[in-house]
């Protein structure tokens, strides 16, 4: 039987694949049959991701710089059937204490890295017709906000705005562009947070499903958007938030 959800025969690039959501996306794509090219800045952690996958390859790159993005694209052999932009950082700081360096760092990593990468891939014609581009967004700045999250939320709002027009521009090539909009996902970022365990457990109760998401659940959504099952889906976002924005 034909399986529209498989990634067999597809070459997929996953950024931010050394940890968290990016790592989970890469693992799930590989399990779905994709030939994955994974990239991040941390060589040791990226190698660890590769060891958990069946095949694939890695390219070390710093996507917060234009030079790093160009170097990455130059090392990709052939054309891509899909890209997942999962590289990003979360930083909480109230607006009045935010300086130019803080803003530049967040926008370079969370927004400009994905925008520049997609632009470079399109300009160099490195995407196959019918390819799928997936950008990891957030409910923060798109569906809601929190104190200290103004700049982080702005970076995710920028991603959502970028997707709408880019989807129209790439539609003649049948290249789809979509986002995944997660609520809080349990990653190692929480291990280094100033929020204690009791506060985290209390926050989980604010979600109708009474828990945070798991990285692999975002990976499942990425596989769906990369597969042929979503050939008629572009310029939209999949909300995965445990019901948080319902209340």
Catalytic residue positions, numbered: 152
With contact defined as beta carbons under 8 Å apart, do 48 and 15 qualify?
no
Cβ contacts of residue 83 below 8 Å, gap of 6+? Answer: 12, 13, 14, 15, 117, 118, 121, 127, 131, 132, 133, 134
Dump the DSSP string for 141-180: TTTB--TT-HHHHHHHHHHHHHHHHHHHHHGGGT-EEEEE
Which strands sit side by side in the sheet containing 176-182, from one edge to the other? 57-60, 35-40, 11-15, 80-85, 127-136, 176-182, 237-240
Cα distance between residue 158 and residue 148, in whole Å: 18
In angstroms, the first-to-last Cα distance of the chain is 41
Residue identified by tokens 């940890």 is 19
Helices (H), 33-143: 43-51, 66-75, 100-107, 113-123
Q: What angle do CA 218, 187, 202 make, to 5 degrees?
A: 100
């Amino acid at each position: 039987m034909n399986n529209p959800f498989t990634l067999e025969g597809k070459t997929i690039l996953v950024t931010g694949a050394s940890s968290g959501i990016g790592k989970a996306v890469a693992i799930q794509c590989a399990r779905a049959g994709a030939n994955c090219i994974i990239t991040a800045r941390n060589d040791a952690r990226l190698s660890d991701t590769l060891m958990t996958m069946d095949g694939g390859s890695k390219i070390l790159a710093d996507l917060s710089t234009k030079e790093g993005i160009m170097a990455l694209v130059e090392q990709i052999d052939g054309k891509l059937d899909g890209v997942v932009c999962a590289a990003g950082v979360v930083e909480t700081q109230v607006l009045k204490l935010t300086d130019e360096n803080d803003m530049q760092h967040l926008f370079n990593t969370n927004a400009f890295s994905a925008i520049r990468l997609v632009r470079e891939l399109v300009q160099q014609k490195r995407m196959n017709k019918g390819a799928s581009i997936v950008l990891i967004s957030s409910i923060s700045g798109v569906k809601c906000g929190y104190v200290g999250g103004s700049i982080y939320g702005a970076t995710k709002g920028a991603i959502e705005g970028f997707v709408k027009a880019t989807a129209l521009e790439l539609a003649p090539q049948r290249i789809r562009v979509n986002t995944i909009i997660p609520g809080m996902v349990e990653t190692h970022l929480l291990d280094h947070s100033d929020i204690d365990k009791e506060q985290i457990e209390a926050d989980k109760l604010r979600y109708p499903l009474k828990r945070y998401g798991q990285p692999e659940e975002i990976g499942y959504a990425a596989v769906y958007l990369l597969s042929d099952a979503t050939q008629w889906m572009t310029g939209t976002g999949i909300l995965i938030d445990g019901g948080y924005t319902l209340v």
